[in-house]
Chains A and B, each alone.
Chain A
Amino acid sequence: MEGKILLEVKDLKKYYIPRGRKKAAVRAVDGVSFQIPAGTTYGLVGESGCGKTTVGKTILHLAEATGGQILLDGQDIVPYRGKELRRLWMRVQMIFQDPFSSMDPKKTIYQIVAEPLKEFGLCPAKEVRERVVETLESCGMSEDCLDRYPHEFSGGQRQRICIARALISGPEFIVCDEPVSALDVSVQAQVINLLKKLQKEKRMAYLFISHDLSVVEHVSDYVGVMYLGRLVETAPKKELFSNPRHPYTQALLSAVPVPQLHRTQKRIVLAGDVPSADAPPSGCPFHTRCRECQEICKTQVPKKRDCGNGHEVWCHFDFGK
């Protein structure tokens, strides 16, 4: 599985600073680092508002990074401007969470899917239609949807059209921002299987953002868990799901429904709300809700601890098996 590192995020920061009030900055992403080898999927999980979407958006320059580096093939893309951005977007694409707002209601499916192709000038005008049909078909949509409008399709169909739009420029990397969370469970499986099939065919890498652990377990090779703008734990999928070391990860995993009559594992219930990102707690960001909280957690920010096998955890203690 270990291949060439395609995308590396190093100490990425994104602060939203209200005008003239530096101290009131909202730290949406605060020092996140991870690597994604070519052809693999990195699952990013966390509660709503923990900054996972912001990570995806900064990779595509839809939000400007405040600090840190994003290396694509070893080249930092954060300072990219103008033409460089166009080249970046040919290689990196995104699938949005809400298939109802990610397509212009006034445009036909043909216009929507052909847009990247035309804007990037990737193929001669005569072949555009052919390419659009080809790509739509690879996503399980037929040719007769071309002249129809987005509102005529169901959520699952729309999401497949969005996938076709993301694919058409032939990217190496796709940010999937909760691509299935707006869909019915039965449709979720179709879309996920489609994404996996396409990944195999085209050897693309995914950053798969989700709050649904069972989905992430199904698609990912590596998983990172985020809390309040920081990673708390990252590991290969099997390792993380079998031996979670951070109390937050353990709590999340205990909440995943398991089809088993008498559950042996006890549910860990997290009390309280996520603290506000504009006034994060001192020390470990999770200490206000952590059941294992000690004195040191309240004052010192935990450093990254390498547990081998690519398993890294940001906790003062080790709660692994």
Chain B
Amino acid sequence: MRKRRGEKAADFCRKFSRNKAAVFGFAVAVVFILAALFADVICSYDKVTTQNIVERLQSPSAAHWFGTDQLGRDIFARIIHGARVSLGVSFLVVAISVLVGGIAGSLLALTGGRIDNLVMRLIDVISCIPGFLLTLALVAAMGSGIRNLMLAMCIRMSVGYIRVIRSFVLSVVGQDFIDAARISGMSTRKIAVTHVLPNALGIIIVEAAMSLSNTILSIAALSFLGLGIQPPAPEWGAMLNEGREFIRTYPHLIIIPGIAIALSALAMNLMGDGVRDALDPRSGQ
């Protein structure tokens, strides 16, 4: 019988679950995402900002699972609420950039001609500037703050997506099966949806998952430099910066947000790999 949609999904799950690293990444990502979603349920936001000098710089204990920082704030609460900012901003940035890049990239590839040429040259120019420098410059020009940080990140990432997706769509369109679909009487729009999109989807998802980890790192880095989220709002990169002075005496101030950043980035990468392999019908049966 012909494969139904449910069967395809089952196929995907079977392949994905066989990849241990991907499952690990997925589990970690789920923990982080749940923590971010239910941050208020787990611990109230008061704990994040309430300073308690008496309890400052405590090591992890039953009362404060991850200890307290130099102002006596509970690090566990700050990590949990920080996930909201770090992950939320990253997801949003990637989602917007993929959408912009996907639409613009495929349109450019399908129309071609002068507009395509013009836009691509503009993108060449933007790509000449190292990504991090570009974001820094944009944030510096627009003023620091979370909205400007996101805007700057979106600009930087969309440019990359447009390039990747455009060239991929071009390579799909050049193949014979597109011609074969055309002489089977398919309209251009239907070809785009039934042949080009499924073939491009894998690479879009993988690109998105891979750049998710990159985005998490970039946002942490920018916040570390004080360009992103402003205190006292909790953010992992900003927490690293604040704990910098205590690296020798109270290393948990650095280690815990560091682990959060590294673990979430790693999880996204592993998951992206797993998704790509499971989406490809050529990978092991």
Distance A97 CA – B175 CA, assembled complex (angstroms): 11
CB-nearest residue of chain A to B198: A106
Say whether, besides A86-B185, A119-B186, A149-B282, A104 and B177 are in contact (CB < 8 Å). Answer: yes
Of the residues B1, B2, B177, contact of A102 by C-beta under 8 Å: B177
Q: Tell which of A29-37, A69-77, A108-116, A303-311 binds the partner.
A: A108-116
Say whether, besides A119-B185, A151-B281, A165 and B180 are in contact (CB < 8 Å). Answer: yes
Say whether, besides A104-B199, A165-B180, A89 and B175 are in contact (CB < 8 Å). Answer: no
Which of A50-94 touch B at CB < 8 Å?
57, 60, 62, 86, 89-90, 92-94
Distance A101 CA – B195 CA, assembled complex (angstroms): 13
Distance A223 CA – B129 CA, assembled complex (angstroms): 58
Is residue A146 within 8 Å, beta carbon to beta carbon, of the partner chain?
yes
Distance A123 CA – B1 CA, assembled complex (angstroms): 19
Is residue B61 within 8 Å, beta carbon to beta carbon, of the partner chain?
no
Q: How far is the CB of B190 from chain A (nearest CB, A)?
A: 8
Is residue A98 within 8 Å, beta carbon to beta carbon, of the partner chain?
yes
Is residue A275 within 8 Å, beta carbon to beta carbon, of the partner chain?
no
Interface string of B172-185 (1 = CB under 8 A from A): 00011101111111
Task: Please tell me the number of chain A residues within 8 Å of chain B, measured between CB atoms.
Answer: 33
Distance A100 CA – B183 CA, assembled complex (angstroms): 18
Say whether, besides A102-B180, A119-B185, A147 and B198 are in contact (CB < 8 Å). Answer: no
Interface string of A135-167 (1 = CB under 8 A from B): 000000000001101010000000000100100
Distance A306 CA – B182 CA, assembled complex (angstroms): 39
A89: B residues at CB distance < 8 A: 183-185
Q: How far is the CB of A71 from chain B (nearest CB, A)?
A: 19
Distance A119 CA – B282 CA, assembled complex (angstroms): 27
Cross-chain contact B179 with A115 (CB below 8 angstroms): no
B3: A residues at CB distance < 8 A: 108, 147
Interface residues of A (CB under 8 A from B): 57, 60, 62, 86, 89-90, 92-94, 96-98, 101-106, 108, 110-111, 115-116, 119-120, 129, 146-147, 149, 151, 162, 165, 169
- Show 27 A/B contacts (Cβ-Cβ < 8 Å), sorted by A: A60-B183, A62-B179, A92-B183, A93-B183, A94-B179, A94-B180, A94-B183, A96-B176, A96-B179, A97-B176, A98-B176, A101-B177, A102-B175, A102-B176, A102-B179, A102-B180, A104-B199, A106-B198, A108-B3, A110-B2, A111-B2, A115-B186, A119-B186, A149-B282, A162-B180, A165-B180, A165-B184
